Amino acid sequence: MDETPKPPLTARITKWLGLAALALAVLGPTLARYDLIGKLPGFTALLGAGALSLIAILLGLVALSIAWGKRKGGAKTALIGLIPALLVFGFLAFGASSAGKYPAIHDATTDLADPPAFEVLELRKDNLVGVETVENWRKIHAEAYPELATIIIDKPVAEVIADAEKLANARGWTVAKADPAAGRLEATAYAAWIRFQDDVVLRARPLDDGQRSEVDMRSVSRVGVGDLGYNANRVKEFLADLKGV
């Protein structure tokens, strides 16, 4: 009895590269999400999956052309790897195209002149990476996020901080400090599937004999240069909810 011939080598390599890319794209970020590996290694695994998927796509096209053009078989084997490779590459390509809309900064605030300072949580030592100077950061920030500004809430400072703590807990943030008397809240928020850690500080100051409050907020990524707009969006959404409480 004749044995079934093996698919061409190009088809077999495509299959395993495509499946490996999918496994790496899922496993790396998932391990990082649950802190079984570091956040950056998890993200690096995702980029590695993108490289594997690109190789699988190019090799898969060769395998298909051989299978269909020379009638040598192997199309099904190649497609087993080509389809997941296209999914991984398409996902990463979409993310890369979206990244171009955001500036390469990771520190967002409503007060560029006097950003709320961290007291319990520690501001990363390389916080100026990518911008080099505070002046550059302020310029880039002002152009990218002109809508971020101090808000006024018609409540005393202590009440504002109490409301902010409830909102932070509802979002699943880890509250490091909530001091209604001092008008301060610090917490760690999380971004994306990997759950990158971003540190947040909210500052409330009294106005009109304490009947109203001037509120500022800052959100900073612990790692990386750009943040895909996560920090600025977090500030906008949180303050909108806080004002609506």
Task: DSSP letter for 207, please.
Answer: E
Cβ atoms within 10 Å of 103's Cβ, excluding its own: 19
SS3 153: strand
pLDDT tens, position by position, 143-202? 999 999 999 999 999 999 999 999 999 999 999 999 999 999 999 999 999 999 999 999
pLDDT recorded at residue 206: 97
What's the CATH class of domain 107-244?
A: alpha beta
- Which sign, positive or negative, has the C-alpha torsion 51, 52, 57, 58? positive
| pLDDT confidence bin for 1, thresholds 50/70/90 | very low
SS3 60: helix
pLDDT tens, position by position, 67-93? 887 766 789 999 999 999 999 999 999
Contact 71, 6 (CB under 8 A): no
Residue the block writes with tokens 């790692």: 223
pLDDT recorded at residue 69: 75
Q: Is the pLDDT of residue 3 over 70?
A: no
pLDDT tens, position by position, 7-23? 889 999 999 999 999 99
pLDDT recorded at residue 4: 64
